[in-house]
Structures are given as C-alpha cells and as structure tokens.
C-alpha cells in the first residue's frame, strides 16, 4: 500500500475518533432562542480547529509505532487523538494576530477568522485541556501508571521546555535585527522545541503504551529526533519554494520577515543535503525492526519529499 494511502487511512480513523471526542450537546432550545448557548460556540470553534483537514502525521506516528509493540487499536487511536488535539490547539494560537497572524490554515479560515480572537484563544485552551482529559480515559490504557507517563511526557513536550518555549524563541528570534546573529545550533535548538518535541512524543508514545525496553525506546528517540529535524527543514524549504495553493497557508513569510532558518543560514542546497541526512539517519534508527516498521520508514521518506 503506498505511503500516502496508509497516511490517509490513518487520518480517517483519527478524524472519526476526534469527531466522537468533540461531540457536544446542542444547546437547549429555550436557551438557544435567548442567544445563550452553553458551550455550543466554544465546541464549534474547537471542532473547526481540529476537524476536516490536516495530514495527521503525528497520529500516524503514534499508531504505526504502537502497532509494532502490539498495542491495541483503541489505546493507540485515543492517544493519537489527544496528541492531535494539542497540535491543533497550537495552530489556533499560533495563527492569532498577536502571534504569526495567519488568516488561512489548511485552506480554510483560521479559528480567529472563522470566529473571533477571544474564541480562538479559549478554543485552544480548551483543546489543550481536553488532551489531558482524554489521556486520563481508561480507553487510553488500563494501567494508571502508563496513563500518567503519557500525561507527563505530553506535558513536557508541549510546555515551556518544549513546544510553547520553542514558539516563544521563534517570536523572539524574529525581533533580532541581524538574523545572522543566530547560529545553526540556536536554530536546531529552537526547532527541536517548537516542532520536534511533539513529533518526538508521537514517536515514543507507542513505546510507553507497549512497555518497550530501554534499548527500543532509545531507537525510537533517535528516529523521532531525526524525523522532527527532517520535518522542520522540509517546512522551511516549502516556505521558500512552495506555492500557497499547494501548501494551504501563506508561504514566503519567513523569507519576507528576514527570519533565520536553516535554509537562510545554509542555503537551499546544503539544507536539502541536511534533510537527506536526517531521512537516512531516521531510517537507520529503525534497522533492528523488521518489515513492520516499513510505514515509519515511509514517513521519513515522505518528510523529505512532501510538496505541502
């Protein structure tokens, strides 16, 4: 089965699960008629932020790696949905005027354009909170110690030392007048936090759910770190080379902002070489695993060749 088909099948499964998790009661008629709709507008904005789009790369990583450790489908799809809720919260907040100020996301209006800024902030807050609530469900795993490890790991990946901290660094970096003051190490560090940490969680959640050995976990961390790097370099390349129609959001923004990226520091050719190296290293990290890891090797190849 081609990689894109596998990815899209997984996306459908996660979409269905997220739809169920985000189902909320319609307002009672007497309240709706008064214009007072308990949680209804917020739930709609949350669904807008999450449903109907996205490649669902992070959920794919959870479900495929979990399958390698014999994790039941119910557990991996629930964990995948929680991770995607965190990812979508971060998009809703990053798109805000005070942050990256993006009107479009996945070819549709971003949450604050479809609703308003306050609702976009609250929808993001509520999605982040919901992710942790989902991980507490028994469906995630029977053993509370395992659920606890997932909550702890996702919180560290998303918080001040992970995704949120990386987004702050990214905003700070834009304010540095001389972009060349940033070193390649600075940028790698920033990207490892901003996008790498969540991808790494996606690659290691299966080892937590499946009780993998320390050795196996190390292999997945190695894979996840290289995959995250490949993802970010390809994202930076797309920003320079992609078209808005293909990518589904504004492109050329980093370049126009004079923002330092690996591409601006290394040039396009060297960035392509670094991308190829990350792909090779990610695939090599899975050497010990047999054919069942092929979808994950496919993910590494996909990262370096994607057009959007």
Query: Of the candidates 239, 253, 265, which has an alpha carbon nearest to the alpha carbon of residue 181?
Result: 265
Count of positions on this chain that bind its own copies (CB under 8 A)? 59
Q: How far apart are CA 87 and CA 163, in angstroms?
A: 9
Q: Which is nearer to its own copies, 236 or 279 (CB)?
A: 236
- Token couple for 121: 């902030």
Give the Cβ contact number of residue 53 at 10 Å: 16
Judged by CB under 8 A, the stretch of 6-14, 63-71, 172-180, 240-248 that binds its own copies is 172-180
Does 240 bind its own copies (CB under 8 A)? Our answer is: no
- Report which secondary-structure segment, H or E, holds 6: helix 3-21
The residue within the footprint of its own copies, chosen from 16, 32, 181, 273 (CB under 8 A), is 181
The residue within the footprint of its own copies, chosen from 55, 106, 189, 218 (CB under 8 A), is 189
Check if the beta carbon of residue 86 is closer than 8 Å to that of residue 127. Answer: yes
Judged by CB under 8 A, the stretch of 64-72, 176-184, 196-204, 236-244 that binds its own copies is 176-184
Does 167 bind its own copies (CB under 8 A)? Our answer is: yes
- Token couple for 93: 């907040």
Q: How far apart are CA 55 and CA 52, in angstroms?
A: 10
Q: Which residue has the tokens 């959640």?
A: 205
Q: Which is nearer to its own copies, 7 or 154 (CB)?
A: 154
End-to-end CA distance of the chain: 21
Report 86-125 residues binding its own copies (CB under 8 A): 89, 93, 96, 98-99, 116-119, 121-122, 124-125
CB of 172 to its own copies, least distance (A): 6
The residue within the footprint of its own copies, chosen from 21, 67, 91, 182 (CB under 8 A), is 182
DSSP string, 245-308: HHHSS--SHHHHTT---HHHHH-HHHHHHHHHHHHHHHHHHTTTS-GGGHHHHHHHHHHHH---
Q: What are the backbone dihedrals phi and psi of residue 252, each rounded to the nearest 5 degrees, phi first?
A: 75, 5
Report 124-143 residues binding its own copies (CB under 8 A): 124-126, 128-130, 132-133, 136
Does 42 bind its own copies (CB under 8 A)? Our answer is: yes
Judged by CB under 8 A, the stretch of 28-36, 57-65, 214-222, 231-239 that binds its own copies is 28-36
Does 203 bind its own copies (CB under 8 A)? Our answer is: no
Rounding to the nearest 10 degrees, give the CA dihedral for residues 56, 243, 167, 117: -80
Does 155 bind its own copies (CB under 8 A)? Our answer is: yes
Residues that bind its own copies (CB under 8 A): 24, 31, 34-39, 41-43, 46, 89, 93, 96, 98-99, 116-119, 121-122, 124-126, 128-130, 132-133, 136, 144-145, 147-148, 151-152, 155-156, 158-161, 164-165, 167-169, 171-173, 175-176, 181-183, 186, 189
């Amino acid at each position: 089965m081609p990689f894109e088909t596998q990815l899209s099948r997984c996306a459908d499964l996660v979409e269905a699960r997220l739809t169920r998790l985000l189902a909320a009661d319609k307002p009672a008629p007497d309240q709706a008629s008064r214009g007072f709709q308990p949680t209804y507008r917020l739930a709609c904005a949350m669904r807008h932020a999450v449903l109907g789009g996205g490649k669902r790369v992070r959920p794919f990583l959870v479900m495929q790696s979990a399958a390698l450790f014999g994790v039941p489908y119910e557990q991996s799809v629930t964990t995948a949905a929680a991770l995607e809720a965190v990812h979508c919260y971060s998009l809703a907040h990053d798109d805000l005027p005070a942050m990256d100020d993006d009107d479009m996301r996945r070819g549709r209006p971003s949450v604050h354009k479809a609703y308003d800024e306050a609702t976009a902030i609250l929808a993001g807050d509520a999605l982040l909170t919901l992710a942790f609530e989902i991980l507490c469900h028994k469906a995630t795993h029977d053993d509370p110690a395992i659920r606890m490890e997932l909550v702890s790991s996702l919180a560290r990946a998303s918080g001040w030392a992970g995704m949120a901290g990386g987004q702050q660094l990214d905003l700070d970096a834009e304010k540095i007048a001389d972009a060349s003051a940033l070193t390649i190490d600075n940028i790698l560090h920033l990207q490892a936090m901003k996008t790498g940490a969540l991808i790494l969680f996606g690659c290691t959640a299966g080892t937590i759910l499946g009780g993998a050995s320390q050795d196996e976990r190390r292999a997945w961390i190695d894979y996840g770190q290289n995959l995250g790097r490949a993802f970010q370099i390809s994202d930076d390349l797309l920003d320079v080379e992609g078209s808005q129609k293909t990518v589904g959001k504004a492109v050329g923004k980093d370049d126009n902002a004079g923002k330092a990226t690996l591409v601006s520091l290394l040039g396009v050719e060297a960035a392509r070489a670094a991308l190829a190296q990350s792909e090779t290293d990610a695939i090599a990290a899975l050497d010990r695993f047999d054919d069942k890891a092929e979808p994950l090797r496919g993910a590494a190849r996909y990262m370096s060749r994607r057009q959007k």
